[in-house]
Amino acid sequence: MTNLSIAAQLIVAISIVIVWVFRFENIEKEFKEYGLNTLMRSAVGSAKIALATLLVAGIWYPSLVLIPALMMAFLMVSAQYFHFKVNNPWQKRMPSLFLLLLCLFIAAVSLNLFA
């Protein structure tokens, strides 16, 4: 399971960096659509980048993985809430749902629930 968890950690981290660094224009549009201000957008973005960094560091230091995975999962649940709030189509909801499931898998592996 460890290799799958490492792959999941990398997928989550790389996805966050791609969306929050290279596709930031989309983030700006979405946060406006959700009625959230720039301070909230900056706080969420900073938290996601920091958590993604910890997930990558967790490859070498597994004790770092559980809390960031659960916190990232919470942020993905929040993303789902806002997607539903503005009635976004399923195509827009799927990426955060997929990342939510990956974060829960990472947390479960960290807790040795598959042992």
Give exposure, 69-89, as e/b (b: 16+ Cβ within 10 Å).
bbbbbebbeebeebbeeeeee
Structure tokens at 59: 């490859």
Q: Is 5:106 a contact under the CB 8 Å cutoff?
A: yes
pLDDT digits (tens, 9 = 90+) for 42-52: 999 999 999 99
State pTM to two decimals: 0.94
pLDDT digits (tens, 9 = 90+) for 72-113: 999 999 999 999 999 999 999 999 999 999 999 999 999 999
